[in-house]
Amino acid sequence: MQAPSSTGPTPLPRWVPVVFAVSGFAALVYQVVWQRSLFTIYGINIESVTVVVTAFMLGLGFGSLAGGALSKNPRRSVLRLFALVETGIGVFGFVSLPLFRMVGAWTLHASPTVTAVVTFLLLLVPTLLMGATLPLLVAHAVRVTGNVGRSVGNLYFVNTLGSAIASLVTVVVLLMWLGQQGSVIIAGVLNCGAGAYVFLRSAGPGGAVSQPAPEGGAS
């Protein structure tokens, strides 16, 4: 009598956490460089720091909600959405510093309220996109592995790891050797490269994954 075959949980492809670590690295490069650029334009005070931090937190939060909503349709390719989002972040990164300087010149003599609103809106678009990346990639991971808790935990870990490495590399290496513009170009190349790679993956085997029954919590 032949024993029934048992298969373990489907492992997540190794490229998925690598891509998300790269995404986290690029996001932290932007945060460090954009803060310095905007502080140079508008000055360093408690108001400008508050506006920049608030824009990042709200953008990431609402972006996460939007990404979660977009990922709920099992027929939608979350990998292609992720690729599009990463590319959008990269494109904004390429033009971000000239855009900041141009808008800074326009609002040079504006009131603090107008300056705060403009700064907030400038950062809202890219941070919304950044916030959408985690739920989109988690949705793909859940469709592959069926494990919600492990997917969230693993991807959040590698994204945070990439961000932590970037916080050191940006200050110690990138800004010293490449300056602000060179640093955001590196980040933009990483975003666009990640987007292109994920798009190619989405067109290959395993790119469109049917959603399995989740295992539930992390193990």
pLDDT per position as a tens digit, 32-63: 999 999 888 888 778 788 888 899 999 999 99
Please state the domain extents for the chain: 15-203
pLDDT at residue 29 in the model: 98
Give the pLDDT mean for 73-89.
94
- Is CATH 1.10.3720.10 the right assignment for the domain spanning 15-203? no
CA distance 78 to 93: 22
**Is 171 a residue whose pLDDT tops 70?**
yes
What pLDDT is recorded for position 35? 92
Backbone angles phi, psi at 216, to 5 degrees: 105, -120
Of 170, 190, 167, whose CA–CA distance to 89 is shortest?
190
Task: Find where tokens 């400038």 sit.
Answer: 122
Instruction: Give residue 42's pLDDT.
Output: 80
Q: For residue 210, what pLDDT is reported?
A: 45
Tell me what the pLDDT averaged over the chain comes to: 87
Query: Does the structure show a pLDDT above 50 at 148?
Result: yes
**Closest alpha carbon to 197 in 36, 63, 2, 13:** 13
DSSP alpha helix (H) spans, 71-178: 78-106, 112-145, 148-169, 175-177
- pTM score of the predicted model: 0.87
Tokens of 109: 């003599």
Q: Which of 183, 169, 192 is nearest to 96 (CA)?
A: 183
In the chain, DSSP finds a helix count (H) and a strand count (E) of 7, 0
C-alpha to C-alpha distances, 168 to 25, 32, 113, 190, nearest whole angstrom:
10, 10, 33, 17
To 5 degrees, how large is the angle CA 177–CA 178–CA 182? 165
For residue 109, the 8-state DSSP code is T
Residue 101 three-state SS: helix
Buried b (16+ CB within 10 A) or exposed e, 167-193: eebbeeebbeeeebeebbbbbbebbbb
Torsion region of 20: left, alpha or beta (phi above 0 gives left; psi -120 to 50 gives alpha): alpha
Q: Which two tokens stand for residue 135?
A: 């739920």
